Amino acid sequence: AQSVTQLDSHVSVSEGTPVLLRCNYSSSYSPSLFWYVQHPNKGLQLLLKYTSAATLVKGINGFEAEFKKSETSFHLTKPSAHMSDAAEYFCVVSGKTAGNKLTFGGGTRVLVKP
């Protein structure tokens, strides 16, 4: 069985300041981990993916995430928030089972203040 917990349902930052979105996971095996972003009334877009090649993963739009096996965490960061980063972010783990089913966290909504 696997699960994902996003530790903050809402995060508010000022434009130009760092963003940290926290994610903890539980999995019986070495997982694939993802971050997706969803802008209002839009579908989900893949930000980045971890597959064990490197613990620090760089994604699109300046985001990166660090995989820490000892802490079972996969936190997402960006050094400087932009107004266009206002969206909902989902941490996701892949089951590596038949059908490669995904398990989603509950989401973190990011508000960026001018």
Partner 1 sequence: NAGVTQTPKFQVLKTGQSMTLQCAQDMNHNSMYWYRQDPGMGLRLIYYSASEGTTDKGEVPNGYNVSRLNKREFSLRLESAAPSQTSVYFCASSEGDTQYFGPGTRLTVL
Instruction: Point out which residues bind partner 1 (CB under 8 A).
Output: 4, 9, 32, 34, 36, 42-46, 49, 90, 94, 96, 98-102, 104-107
Cα–Cα distance for residue pair 113/96, rounded to 1 Å:
39
Please, which residue, 23 or 81, has the CB nearer to partner 1? 23
Q: Are 3 and 102 in contact (CB under 8 A)?
A: no
The CA–CA distances, whole Å, from 83 to 32, 72, 86, 89 equal 29, 30, 6, 15
The least distance separating partner 1 from the CB of residue 95, rounded to whole angstroms, comes to 8
Minimum distance from CB of 88 to partner 1 (Å)?
A: 10
Closest separation in Å from C-beta 40 to partner 1: 11
